[in-house]
Structure 1
Amino acid sequence: MQYAGYAHLINQDSISAIAPAISAEVRSVTRKETIGQTIAVPAKLAPAPDDRLGHVLFAIKHEGINLQVLAQALPAIPEPEIRQAFDAAPNSQYLRKACFLWEHFTGETIRRATESIQQAYVPLFNPKAYITGQGQKNPRWRVIFNGLGTLDYCITVRRTRELQALLDEHLLQKATEFTESLPKDILNRTLAWAYLHETRDSYAIENEAPSEDKATRFVNLLKQAHSPRKLDEDYLVDLQNAVISNVFSQAVSFRTEQNYLSNGLRGALGVTYVPPAPELSRSLMEQLMALANQPPEAVDPLVLASIVSFGFV
């Protein structure tokens, strides 16, 4: 099986990345077509196996932006190679995107022959294929970074048919209109039940039955969701400590040691998830808090809440 694009880069360059949901493969077809979870391409369209830059450009053009792969593949491309490619085709939007990312991930500058680019700005992420923010213009490459977050902490959300259908339902607006139509006493009783149900389910994940005092503290935390405030380290530490009764287990800052989630089995078989290394904890949390405190405009609040909560966990 001959891969192209991201799948080829992952397999050939020993890149550590989640396999793409849809991979490109060379097949006996006359033109590019999507077959199930595969982008089938004719052999003439696929770059040579040793053409790393060719596969990067193929991927950007046909598969979109996969930063976890590009962050590892682009720095392996020598500056003269990517410079010569750009000088030969300075109008290529895919080369401009690749050069923009290459400079960010390497911290170096491409010594291109062309001083200025006159082409129109192009978004890094195609808004038709991804949930995007308003974006920041990079005048050097005429590229708009419109990802969610920053290039150092960018959440990628594909605009799938299923997600778009949910967005078109305007669920948050409907929920707001419904709750506003309820009598206040019924709404309060409903919220009280929801708080208690969420509390029990949260502790059930840890196979724990909370005491009445601990459940009350957790419910009080849930009620704070109605009073938005800026996220910072002190606030998050206070939230965690509020539901931990053992003072010796309470935190004073973001974690400084490696931890993991376990399913109860002994040894490595019991480890179900290993979070990022502790030395990355602070920088990741700072990026996450910045995204939560200054969210991109025109992005559905439910999408933002999902990516912030997922990143936090």
Structure 2
Amino acid sequence: MQVGFTALADRYGIALAQPLRVESIIGTTRVSRENAGRLENKFPTSYTPADDFAGHFEFGLKYEEIHLEFFARLFASVGPEPIEAWCRRTPFGQYARRTGFLYEWLTGQRLDVPDVSNGGYVDAVSTQQYLTRCKPLRVPRWRIFDNLPGVPDFCPLVRRTGAVQEALRFDLNAALRELNQTFGADILMRTASWLTFKESRASFLIEKEADQADRIQRFAHVIAQHCGHIDDPLSPRSLQTLQAGILGREAVGLGLRHSPVFVGQATLHQDIVHYIAPSFEILPQLLDGLKGFERATRGAESLIRAAVIAFAFVYIHPMRDGNGRIHRFLINDTLIRDQAVPGGVILPVSATITSSIDFRARYDRTLEVFSRPFMQRYAASYRFGALAVYKDGTPSNLVFDDDDDAQFAWRYPDLTEHVLYTAQVVAHTVRTEMADEARVLLIFQRAQEQLKEVLEMPDQDANRIIRSLKENGWQISGKLRKTYPQLEDAHLAERMVKAVRSAFEEPNETL
């Protein structure tokens, strides 16, 4: 016998874009089994709930997972009557109160029941199991602490799974201090300067635009100038500033889009749609909702906030172009604002994403955690019709028929896997990417110093000689001899080669 939220979903015909992860059934013993991300719980007959709305919903609140998209769809389907009846029957029961609060919070409609006048305050959701608002809001009507991490217009959910909690044990600040102690502040800041450009280049590689040298330089400038400094980064004005910096101020259609958009790929015969973004009419509400999440969670773990803000932004997809790069910009921007990373230090997360087939494949799979089931739910809801030119100048023939229905998913995404991936990427970035770059820079600095002990020269010339020798297997090229006639002196040339080569080949305790 099926019980809990899945029983209600079947009874009321609730079709979800994000499937329920937990299924509960009545059996003989209590056991749990997880398979492919889904959890099956079996309970003995003593757990059997009343076979009505209140019975199954209370069971779900007790033993299953919060699922805001499901709650919003269910409340829209059943209306206020079963919740009102439950609240009148047990006005002080915490599960009735939590349900009444959730109904009014999600629907914006007031239930026809009196305010609760007795009983202690209880949390809307568990702080141990979910990311919650840092400063709960008292709701006297229900004697509830509203600790939901967002606002009704946009409230992502992050489950504090064992894997997420393990990933969040990575102490970003301590890891950066260790780098600083190992290599010194000067090397770390010089590494950060180079990594800003590396992050830009890798970000464009993710967008399959690695040959766009001028745009790579522009994005590097945007990162260096605006990360942690731009006012209200999620405001339309700031987003347009970032977009213009990335694409150029002469780019077509800067600012929030006023046209439909999908993420996909073109083939010879047709476009393949991987994800349809929210309709442009609700973009201001969703962005304001995302800002509401940002305000509500200030003081929470920075890695969670950075992941949610960045991935929520890319799903909202508010711009015609540049969404992916702004998405990765927001990771660093959030970490700097939360003082998890010193100003001026850029974590090259894009470089980590492109550093291996595994990280890149996991990035795509992480995006698909939401987009794939979303598109399965709406596979028959879009088509390509007559071409129309929209207010922002975009010609499009995409027609999506279920904007209102899809808002339940767009507003309440589960971003648990996105937090896990981001935390692991950041840990690898600091422990491997940044440490490796610092080692390279330290070796290069040592090579400069040893080369200048043989022959004094400006840094620019020293760098040119070092790179040439390294690239040519410690042999002096004809071009290098022509540029620097001093190298015609065989004894001097030998000493210079030895000085540079030893910097790269001799062991060093710091390295």
Cα pair 2:139 2:145 within 8 Å, conserved: yes
C-alpha change, 1:178 and 1:295, in structure 2 (3 Å) is farther
Query: What's the counterpart of residue 126 of structure 2?
Result: 126
Query: What's the counterpart of residue 266 of structure 2?
Result: 264
- The range that moved more, 147-156 or 93-102, is 147-156
Q: How does 1:99-248 map to 2 (within 5 A)?
A: 99-112=100-113, 115-133=115-133, 134-169=135-170, 171-181=171-181, 182-223=183-224, 224-227=226-229, 229-231=231-233, 232-245=235-248, 247-248=250-251
Query: What's the counterpart of residue 65 of structure 2?
Result: 64
Give a deviation string over 1:24-71, Cα, whole Å, max 9, x none: 2324224x432222121245634566x334322221121132111111
Residue 266 of structure 1 deviates from its aligned partner by 5.3
Q: Which letter does structure 2 place at the counterpart of 1:239?
A: L
Query: What's the counterpart of residue 385 of structure 2?
Result: none
Q: Which consecutive segments of 4 or more residues in structure 1 shift more than 6 A?
A: none
Provide the secondary structure at the position in 1 that maps to 2:155.
strand
Cα pair 2:92 2:116 within 8 Å, conserved: no
C-alpha change, 1:264 and 1:165, in structure 2 (3 Å) is same
Give a deviation string over 1:230-264, Cα, whole Å, max 9, x none: 2221111111121214835241x311111111133
Query: What's the counterpart of residue 6 of structure 1?
Result: 5
- Higher RCO (CA 8 Å, separation ≥ 6 residues): 2
C-alpha change, 1:168 and 1:211, in structure 2 (3 Å) is closer
Provide the secondary structure at the position in 2 that maps to 1:261.
strand
Q: Which letter does structure 1 place at the counterpart of 2:32?
A: T
C-alpha change, 1:277 and 1:42, in structure 2 (3 Å) is farther
Cα pair 2:3 2:24 within 8 Å, conserved: yes
Give a deviation string over 1:192-228, Cα, whole Å, max 9, x none: 3322332222112222124332211110111121435
Query: What's the counterpart of residue 277 of structure 1?
Result: 279
Provide the secondary structure at the position in 2 that maps to 1:149.
coil
Q: Which letter does structure 2 place at the counterpart of 1:33?
A: V
Asked if residue 90 in structure 1 is aligned to residue 106 in structure 2, the reply is no
Query: What's the counterpart of residue 384 of structure 2?
Result: none
Q: Which letter does structure 2 place at the counterpart of 1:19?
A: P
Segments of 5+ residues of structure 1 without an aligned counterpart are none
- The range that moved more, 95-104 or 208-217, is 208-217
What is the TM-score with the length of structure 2 in the denominator?
Answer: 0.55
What is the TM-score with the length of structure 1 in the denominator?
Answer: 0.87
Query: What's the counterpart of residue 25 of structure 1?
Result: 24
Q: Number of residues paired by the alignment? A: 305
Cα pair 1:24 1:38 within 8 Å, conserved: yes
Give a deviation string over 1:74-105, Cα, whole Å, max 9, x none: 23334343222222222321110111122233
2-structure distance, mates of 1:199, 1:163: 28
**Percent identical residues:** 25
Provide the secondary structure at the position in 2 that maps to 1:38.
strand
Provide the secondary structure at the position in 2 that maps to 1:178.
helix
Cα pair 2:244 2:251 within 8 Å, conserved: no
Cα pair 2:155 2:289 within 8 Å, conserved: no
C-alpha change, 1:118 and 1:193, in structure 2 (3 Å) is same
Residue 179 of structure 1 deviates from its aligned partner by 4.7
Cα pair 1:52 1:77 within 8 Å, conserved: no
Cα pair 2:3 2:26 within 8 Å, conserved: no
2-structure distance, mates of 1:261, 1:89: 48
C-alpha change, 1:185 and 1:211, in structure 2 (3 Å) is farther
Q: Bigger radius of gyration, 1 or 2?
A: 2
2-structure distance, mates of 1:307, 1:236: 17
C-alpha change, 1:48 and 1:90, in structure 2 (3 Å) is closer
Cα pair 2:91 2:97 within 8 Å, conserved: yes
C-alpha change, 1:35 and 1:290, in structure 2 (3 Å) is closer
1-structure distance, mates of 2:247, 2:28: 60
C-alpha change, 1:107 and 1:185, in structure 2 (3 Å) is closer
2-structure distance, mates of 1:20, 1:301: 27
Cα RMSD after superposing both structures: 2.5
